[in-house]
Amino acid sequence: MDPAVPASPSSPPTPPRHDSAPSLPNNIAFLLHAARTLLTYGRHLLETVRHRATAPNFNTIAAAFGTANLTTILAHLNRGLLRAAALERFLLARAAAGRDIDIVEPRPTPDAPQPPPAAAATAATPQLLPPLLPATRTASSRPSLATVRNDPELFTPSEQDIEHQVRHRPIGRTIFDICLDLAVVPGFCTGEFWNELFEIMQAFGGSVAELMLERCRRERAFAKQQDRIPGSNWDWLGMKRDGIRQVLGFFIGEPPVNPLATGPP
């Protein structure tokens, strides 16, 4: 099911109705609902993932993580839950102080600078450039610090580091990070909840485009893993909605379920 196009981020999104917290500021109520929904899903998957990993259809979940390595998946889930819990605490603290979360206006893309006439004439003249030297690998050719910090197996931030990130980064970016760690993709969500995530990332400083690019990268990485496994299961490529519901137990955004009642067949 393709999600509907969300409302423009120029106006605050309408939060879902929450009878238990009617006094929450408008945007915080909207954001808190998303954070708690992701927490529910992340905890559910963490509790059941070892059992689900024994089922043939587990590749549907593994492809969203980019690997079938259970240690890597667990590391992502634990980091995602830390982030979601930190976001929930931050939002509740803001609400207690009577402060809402402002929408992040998109920054205009600057126009490319136009060269002066002399520079333009020079640029138009063909230049003979020396050939590029072949790239050489050195002994110090190791993963960058950014790569290490994005890999939960190589680097797990402390709760204090995560709290600091949540307080000092746009909320949409935190939701983006949580979605990556929990491997949240549109097909795993109800249409309504995916629209909610879309609106949050658009209006509060996240990037749906980056999320979709990472989804494609992970699926390609997983396909390469499967190529090296004789007789591997490729059913995940054409899994229908009913099959995904059976794999996950419930769609993200639906009411919580009993994890013991939703294991794979």
Question: How far is Cα 27 from Cα 148, in angstroms, rounded to an integer?
Answer: 34
Query: Which residue segment(s) compose the domain that 164 sits in?
Result: 25-105+146-230
Q: pLDDT over 90 for what percent of the chain?
A: 54
Least confident of 5-14, 32-41, 208-217: 5-14
Q: Which of 60-69, 159-168, 249-258 has the lowest mean pLDDT?
A: 249-258
Whether 186 contacts 152, CB under 8 Å: no
Arithmetic mean of pLDDT, 235-246: 84
Q: Is residue 207 part of a domain?
A: yes
Q: What's the confidence (pLDDT) of residue 226?
A: 87
Q: Which residue has the higher pLDDT, 20 or 187?
A: 187
Q: Tell me, yes or no, whether 193 lies in a domain.
A: yes
Q: How confident is the model at residue 239 (pLDDT cuts 50, 70, 90)?
A: confident
Q: Percent of the chain at pLDDT above 70? A: 69
Give the alpha-carbon dihedral of 60, 150, 3, 101, to 10 degrees. Answer: 140
Query: pLDDT at position 150, please?
Result: 65
* Mean predicted confidence (pLDDT) in 162-182: 96
In a domain, 59, yes or no: yes
pLDDT for the residue 34: 97
In sequence order, the β-bridge partners of residue 146 are none
> For 207-218, what is each residue's pLDDT tens digit?
999 999 999 999
Report pLDDT for 221.
93
| pLDDT tens column, 63-108 | 999 999 999 999 999 999 999 999 999 999 999 999 999 998 665 5
With CA atoms as reference, report the closest residue to 104 among 178, 199, 5.
199
Examine the pLDDT at 201 and tell me if it is beyond 70: yes
Residue 43 lies in a domain: yes
Residue environment code for 91-127, b if the CB has 16+ CB neighbours within 10 A, otherwise e: beebbeeeebbebbeeeeeeeeeeeeeeeeeeeeeee
Residue 11 lies in a domain: no
Q: Provide the pLDDT for residue 133.
A: 38
Contact (Cβ atoms closer than 8 angstroms) between residue 97 and residue 252: no
Reported confidence tier of residue 13, pLDDT bands at 50, 70, 90: low
Task: Pick the more confident residue, 168 or 232.
Answer: 168
| Residue type for position 107 | R
End-to-end CA distance of the chain: 24
Provide the domain count of the chain: 1
Nearest-angstrom CA–CA distance, 84 and 177? 9
C-alpha of 10 from chain center: 23
Residue 247 located in a structural domain: no
79 inside domain: yes
The reported pLDDT for the residue numbered 192 is: 97
Determine, yes or no, domain membership for 129. Answer: no
